[in-house]
Amino acid sequence: MMTAWHRFRADVQAALIAGMADEYDRRTWSADRIARAQRAGLRVLLQHAMERSPFHRERLAGIDVVDVDPADMSELPVMTKSQMMDGLDSVLADRRLDRGVVEAALANTGAEPVVILDDYIALASGGCSGQRGIFVLDRAAVAAFVACSARQPGPVDVVPGAAGGQTVMALVAAPSAVHATGMLAALMSGGTTPIRSALVPATQPLGEIVERLNAMQPAVLTGYASMLVRLAAEADAGRLNIAPTAVSSTSETLLPEMRSVIRDAFGVPVLDGFGSTEGLVGKTCPDDPVFVFNTDRCIVEMVDAENRPVAPGTPSAKVLITNLYNLTQPLIRYELTDTFVRQSDAAEHGYLRADVQGRADDVLRYESVDLHPIVIRSVMVKTPEVIDYQVRQTPCGIDVVAVTADGAHLDGLSDRLRRALVDGGLKRADVRVRPVDRLDRHPVTGKLRRFVPLTDA
């Protein structure tokens, strides 16, 4: 019996297959071609939001939305997650939808999404690192999101899937389809798409994850950066015996030292992915830290704390995104607290290229000093005994829990961290280091927040 989700999935997969040639062409769109797509998409989005979303109708009143240009959207108000969640019922453009209906679907979501009104699915994000966000997408929006997530930057030799057959990809990520990675796994787990995904929940014990991967022998290994580091250690120890032709990180910051460990363990270059449930997606080339973002479908503004544009090469305090493909839940100049640094344009395409330096709210703020995570990372990267770790801010310092290789001792680590914090300006730094067998992950997303400020602890 075909369920509502199976019908939804079949429709999205059909759209993805039909759109392969277009996605192939989009890889090399020029800046002018992208700008034209942004102008057309923004006009449709703003008019739709004015007509269908009471939230946006009120906020955009008095603005001639037809004349707004993607190059300067300062006339439009900034939208925060708090504002969106407080007014979710009025944000949604289908008046049949409300928070109660959406929350009920999320509450009943397991390995597969629950289809709402036969037209939508819902995703949630942010529960492990801050205020929770809820996002509703129709079939077209899901297809666009997946297409952006799968698209590799720059030209390629062939259209993916043109030769037939399926590539098996193991996705070590969210156990539930309420998170985008879990939804992607459910979407690609059946049908005739070029990639067949098999979900391995990141919340499972490490031994079970290794056993499943050994049985699966995936050609592509994708997962959270923190999980890939753990799996690299298992491969080095001889317990994980797979030979993927590609390894890709997603959803967590892939630090340079993590990339190096993963690449050495599996013997292949590592790609990285930036994915937000809000719709902004970025991908890197192999072993390249620079992300190429889907600016054909999302307008991105890199701004300071006062929402003023920052110059290329200057770290932003946040980014404002305008999602052009999700008309069900219009996000217009929506605030993401990620720090971007714009890089030089590419010759082969016109998409935004930027480094992502983590979340602005990962900074540890004390009474008289702010400590960037790099202060701690610079010590941890020189501690090969540590496989993975989490840092929690305390009133006067940090509490570190660390997973070590084969029970290695952590002698001297607390002293090295204390000196680093003192050098960083925290004159009376209190540092505690504890070895643990495993790190606790968010029970729904399976993600690990590496740096936890005091306000979030």
Tens of pLDDT, residues 178-220: 888 889 889 988 766 667 778 888 878 888 999 999 999 999 9
- C-alpha separations of 12 from 25, 187, 297, 317 in Å: 20, 8, 17, 36
Distance (Å, whole) CA 331 – CA 325? 10
What DSSP string runs through 333-354? SEEE-EEEEE-PPPSS--S-EE
Query: For residue 323, which of 300, 291, 355 has the smallest C-alpha distance?
Result: 300
What CATH number should be reported for the domain whose range is 363-452?
3.30.300.30
Query: For residue 182, which of 235, 232, 114 has the smallest C-alpha distance?
Result: 114
Quote the longest CA-to-CA distance of the chain.
Answer: 66
In this structure, the chain runs to a length of: 457
* Strand locations in 215-287 (E): 220-223, 246-250, 270-275, 281-284
CA 115 to chain centre: 23
DSSP designation for 345: P
Distance (Å, whole) CA 342 – CA 330? 25
Q: Taking 60 as the threshold, does the pLDDT of residue 457 lie above it?
A: no
Average pLDDT (389-406) is 88
**Contact between 370 and 362 (Cβ < 8 Å):** no
DSSP designation for 362: G
Grade residue 45 by pLDDT with cuts at 50, 70 and 90.
very high
Distance (Å, whole) CA 136 – CA 227? 28
Q: Which residues contact 127 (CB under 8 A, 6 or more apart)?
A: 442, 444, 445
Give the whole-number percent of the chain exceeding pLDDT 70: 90
What residue spans define the domains of the chain?
4-359, 363-452
Distance (Å, whole) CA 299 – CA 135? 18
pTM of the model: 0.81
Class of domain 4-359: alpha beta
Distance (Å, whole) CA 287 – CA 163? 26
| Tens digits of residue pLDDT in 121-161 | 999 886 444 567 899 999 999 999 999 998 888 554 433 44
**Contact between 258 and 228 (Cβ < 8 Å):** yes
Distance (Å, whole) CA 64 – CA 171? 45
Distance (Å, whole) CA 265 – CA 404? 17
Grade residue 437 by pLDDT with cuts at 50, 70 and 90.
confident
Average pLDDT (414-442) is 87
- C-alpha separations of 283 from 18, 263, 302, 372 in Å: 22, 17, 18, 25
Q: Taking 90 as the threshold, does the pLDDT of residue 389 lie above it?
A: no
**Contact between 289 and 355 (Cβ < 8 Å):** yes
